[in-house]
Amino acid sequence: MALTAHLSCLLVLVVAGPAQGLKDALRSQDPGPQPMGLKEVFTLFQIQYNRSYSNPAEHARRLDIFAQNLAKAQRLQEEDLGTAEFGVTPFSDLTEEEFGQLHGHHWGAGKAPSMGIKVGSEESGETVPQSCDWRKKPGVISAIKHQKDCNCCWAMAAVDNVEAQWAIKYHQAVQLSVQQVLDCDRCGNGCNGGFVWDAFLTVLNTSGLASEQDYPYKGTVKTHRCLAKQHRKVAWIQDFLMLQFCEQSIARYLATEGPITVTINAGLLQQYKRGVIRATPATCDPHLVNHSVLLVGFGKSKSVEGRRPRPGHSIPYWILKNSWGPDWGEEGYFRLHRGSNTCGITKYPVTARVDKPVKKHQISCPP
C-alpha cells in the first residue's frame, strides 16, 4: 500500500515535467525529495503490478503508453466535478482500445429481451433514506471477484446480484458459480462479453446455480462444456426485471429490496483510484454503456477544498461493486455521482428475483 501511495504522489510531478519541478524546488528552497523521472515511476509500476515485457521495443512502447495515461489522468483530475482522484492503476500500461477489449462488452450494444422483463412499479409515496450500504449487512455482499483476462463482467455482476438477493431473502450467505454461467450461456459471448440478462436466462435454463466451490471460476470458456447437471444447485431465480430509468426509483428499490445490476460507461475507470466521479456527458457518454457492475448503496460525501463544487457542499453518490479485484479503486469498489445519470447508470437497471423451486406433488389417478 505504501508503494501505491508513493506512485499517487508522484503523478502530478511527472506530468508537470522537470521544469515545473525545478520551479517548485526553487520556490520552496526545500532540499527534500526531488521529483522522480518517468522511467523511475514506470519501474515502480512494474514492481507493484508484476509487469514484464517480451523485448526492449515492447518495453519502450509500454512506457510511452504509460506516459500518455498519466497525462490523461491529470486531465481527468482537472475536469472532474466531484472528489475523484485519477492516477496510476493496474491498467496504466494499456491503450484505451486494449482496456476496452478486456473490460468492456466488446461487442454491439444488445437490446433487452422483451420476454421476462418487467418495468418496476415501486410506490412513489415511499421515502428514500439518506444513505444505504448493503456491505454493512453481514453475509449480503460477497468478496470482490476478479475477472482477470476474461471479459465477463456481465456474468459476475449477475451472480453478485443473485448472491445478495438470496442472502437478503433467505438469510443465507452463498458464493455462486460464475463459471457455470460462462460454460452454459447460449446468448452472450463468454469471455468476449455479454449482458446481465444473458446470465439470468442461463440461470433459468440450467435450473439454478451451483456453488463456486463445486464449480470454480477458471476465466476461460470451452464450447459444449456445460457441467451444470453434474453439480447440486444452491440458489435459484424465478425471473428478472428492469427497473424504471430514474435514479430516485432505483434508490428506493435498492434500499427496500437489495442490490441490483447496472451497466455503465467504464472509460474513466481505467485511471480511477478513489473518490466520487462526477463527469459530464462529454467525458463519459451516458449512452455508450459497456460495463456491468453491482449497485450496493448510496450516500453523501463532503466536497474537497479547491475542487468543484465549492467546499462545504455535500455530493450525493452511488456505491458500486466492481469485478477487477480488491487492489483496484476503493478496495474493489467505486463511487459515481448520484442525480446526474453519470456514465449512464440509469440505462439498464436490472435485478433478478430469487425463489426456491416449487416441489411438484405427485398426482396419480385412482385405479
The answer to whether 209 and 202 are in contact (CB under 8 A) is no
The answer to whether the CB of 346 falls within 8 A of the CB of 247 is yes
Q: What distance in Å separates the CA atoms of residue 234 and residue 216, rounded to the nearest whole number?
A: 14
Indicate the helix (H) or strand (E) that contains 339. none
Q: 264 near 344, Cβ under 8 Å?
A: yes
What would the DSSP string read from start to end of 222-287?
-TT---GGGS-EEE-EEEEEEPPS-HHHHHHHHHHH--EEEEE--GGGGSEEESEE---TTTS-TT
Rounded Cα distance between 4 and 35, Å, is 16
SS3 content of the chain, % helix, strand, coil (to 5): 35, 15, 50
* CA–CA separation, 290 and 267 (whole Å): 9
Taken as a whole, the chain contains a residue count of 367
Structure letter (DSSP) for residue 363: -
CA distances from 279 to 37, 69, 273 (A): 30, 18, 15
- Rounded CA-CA distance 336/252 in Å is 17
**Residue found under cell 478513489:** 274
Catalytic positions, please?
Answer: 153, 291, 322
Strand positions, DSSP E, the chain: 85-86, 132-133, 209-210, 233-235, 237-242, 260-264, 272-274, 276-277, 291-302, 314-321, 333-337, 350-354
Distance, first Cα to last Cα, the chain: 75
For residue 217 the three cell numbers come to: 471460476
Q: With contact defined as beta carbons under 8 Å apart, do 267 and 330 qualify?
A: no
